[in-house]
Amino acid sequence: MALSSSHHILLLSFLLSCYVPLGLASRHWPVGGSTRFYDFKVQTIRVTKLCKTKDIVTVNGMFPGPVIYAQEDDRIIVKVTNESPHNATIHWHGVRQRLSCWADGPSYITQCPIQAGQSFTYEFTLFQQKGTLFWHAHISWLRATVNGAIVIYPKTGVPYPFPYPYEEHVLIFGEYWHKDMLQLENEVVASGGSPPPAEAYLINSHPGPRYNCSATDVYKIDVVPGKTYLLRLISASLNMEHFFAIAGHKLTIVEADAEYTKPFTVDRLMITPGQTINVLVKADQPIDRYDMAVGPYMSAQNVTFQNISAIAHFQYTGATLDDLSLPAQLPVYNDNLVVNTNLHMLRSLNATNLPSEIDANLFFTVGLNVDECHSSNPNKSCKGPSGGVLAASMNNVSFVKPNISLLQAYYNNINGLYTDDFPGVPLKTYDFVNGAPNNIPNNTQSLIGTKVKVLEYGSRVQLILQNTGTVTTENHPIHLHGYNFYVVGYGTGNYNPMSAKLNLADPPYMNTIGVPVGGWAAIRFVADNPGVWFMHCHFDVHLTWGLSMAFIVKNGEGSLETLPHPPADLPKC
């Protein structure tokens, strides 16, 4: 399946490189040499997992979907045709979309959905990017099955900054429910309560032998003793963070969110939804079959979650097949220490362009709320704490999607769809981590609105992300579109500028940061890419509940600092 589609792609990209006219902005790019064309058809297929059959939405009938292979600075053109009955968009997670905000993909932020039967062609350049990223549906909860890897190799002749692996493999982690994902989201919203735990975790769509009916539904990598493998780990999970480990083997982290890191070696790691981590694994153990395990990291209190791990096999050539595989040791589900230790060790290989001066000092709280129940039946209270409705917010604002995209509203000066008064600091200051009154709907109510924060072109931004304890503290994977940011600091408790230690030497350069449970993270970036950029928790349920906001980054001067016109085929609202 992968083979035939990549042949197809090679042929097409060869043909296209002869005549595809490059867009207006492309004249200025240091073009990597190739334009790569992909054809994505959003299609529904029937699958059977864990002894039950259901219809899932996919790209090209594949789950996980097709891999986009490219080199740094390549131009990517993906024609997405929606052959499913549902609205669809695709987001290229981690692609910085320099001057191509129109191709970013979050529904109602940069575009309206591609309706059934329609198509839209995404065009963007992988400008100065290399490593592992991924693409996923950015509408409702369709990401569960509409996802795939983006593998960007360095330019020809440029080596990896680590020993060349014998082979590479992509491992996409996910979650699986028997329910239809659109129906599941609707039910969660209607109830006001928490989502049900996943039926299973998945590794490249396989749950592995620990779940019912799945003894043979196991992903496997065959390995040659003595060789070193590069595993490109991607979390496409919806609502769970995961620990990952391989029995008996160490993991050397060499890249996170498609940026090289100083190599460091661990027994296990945590990966949040939206993160990608490349690890080197040396097959240096006795010939056998070893488990690769994906289990839960759950930092919140009183949440029910799937506690059974997904298992894949790391299988040495020559291992006898009736052998039981060796079990991997994962941390316990709430081992925050492992998470913080890993974060501490994550350092950029080269941190260039880290702003030392700051123009915009922002402070956003990140957490949950309990809003008033508006159930039509007054006797039937909602399923959230104290009979309220669970919500989530940044600076206590629960984001509401507009019904045409923010980018179109901004670009065309359409009034009344959003306001530009997203607060740069919380409107109320309190002991964020400990002082929030729990379970009192009146005091945990969020503001509801479509608010954005406007940034001048080129402003150097520092943003403190502070977790709150309302309902529960929790590690939230916060993702910013259109940029990577330096994670210059993090800690537990409330951020205190007097005592916070910042790393301005070699901080990691990420697109998604798991803000420590009951703690904070400080990020920095230069707002030099004009457009409307979504920032949100990468747990889909928190996104649904409003844990998001958008930045508008204004144009600068001249064509290299100005957002171009929208593409002619931008979907109609």
Out of 93, 232, 282, 476, the only residue in the binding site for ligand C2O (CB under 6 A) is 93
Asked whether position 96 contacts ligand C2O by CB under 6 A, the answer is no
Beta carbon of residue 55, minimum distance to ligand C2O (angstroms, whole number): 23
Out of 481, 483, 484, 539, the only residue in the binding site for ligand C2O (CB under 6 A) is 481
Q: Which is nearer to ligand C2O, 197 or 274 (CB)?
A: 274
How many whole angstroms separate alpha carbon 546 and alpha carbon 215?
A: 39
Q: Which is nearer to ligand C2O, 169 or 479 (CB)?
A: 479
CB neighbour list of residue 158: distance below 8 Å, 6 or more residues apart: 72
How many whole angstroms separate alpha carbon 180 and alpha carbon 165?
A: 39
The separation between CA 266 and the C-alpha centre of its own chain, rounded to angstroms, equals 22
Mind giving me the DSSP string for 73-108? T-EEEEEEEE-SSS-B-EEEET---TT-GGGS--BT
Q: Which is nearer to ligand C2O, 93 or 451 (CB)?
A: 93
| HSE-up (13 A, CA, CB side) for residue 440 | 6
The dihedral formed by the CA atoms of 26, 277, 7 and 124, expressed in degrees to the nearest 10 = -20
Asked whether position 120 contacts ligand C2O by CB under 6 A, the answer is no
Q: Which is nearer to ligand C2O, 90 or 354 (CB)?
A: 90
Asked whether position 136 contacts ligand C2O by CB under 6 A, the answer is yes
Beta carbon of residue 530, minimum distance to ligand C2O (angstroms, whole number): 18
Beta carbon of residue 481, minimum distance to ligand C2O (angstroms, whole number): 6
Nearest alpha carbon to residue 6 among 50, 30, 36? 36
The dihedral formed by the CA atoms of 271, 268, 256 and 95, expressed in degrees to the nearest 10 = -30
Out of 49, 130, 138, 453, the only residue in the binding site for ligand C2O (CB under 6 A) is 138
Q: Which is nearer to ligand C2O, 95 or 198 (CB)?
A: 95
| Segment contacting ligand C2O by CB under 6 A, of 59-67, 250-258, 345-353, 534-542 | 534-542
Contact map string, positions 186 to 205, toward ligand C2O, x by CB under 6 A: --------------------
Out of 32, 64, 65, 106, the only residue in the binding site for ligand C2O (CB under 6 A) is 106
- Residue 552 Cα distances to 141, 419, 456, 549, angstroms: 25, 11, 9, 10
Out of 91, 210, 460, 524, the only residue in the binding site for ligand C2O (CB under 6 A) is 91
Contact between 346 and 272 under an 8 Å Cβ cutoff? The reply is no
Q: Which is nearer to ligand C2O, 135 or 176 (CB)?
A: 135
The footprint of ligand C2O on this chain (CB under 6 A) covers a number of residues equal to 11
How many whole angstroms separate alpha carbon 335 and alpha carbon 356?
A: 33
Asked whether position 534 contacts ligand C2O by CB under 6 A, the answer is yes
Asked whether position 232 contacts ligand C2O by CB under 6 A, the answer is no
Contact between 430 and 469 under an 8 Å Cβ cutoff? The reply is no
Q: Which is nearer to ligand C2O, 235 or 396 (CB)?
A: 235
Beta carbon of residue 378, minimum distance to ligand C2O (angstroms, whole number): 37
Sheet holding 35-49, edge to edge: 52-59, 35-49, 75-82, 119-125
Helix (H, G, I), strand (E, B) or coil at 233: strand
Residue ranges in contact with ligand C2O by CB under 6 A = 91, 93, 106, 136, 138, 274, 479, 481, 534, 536, 538
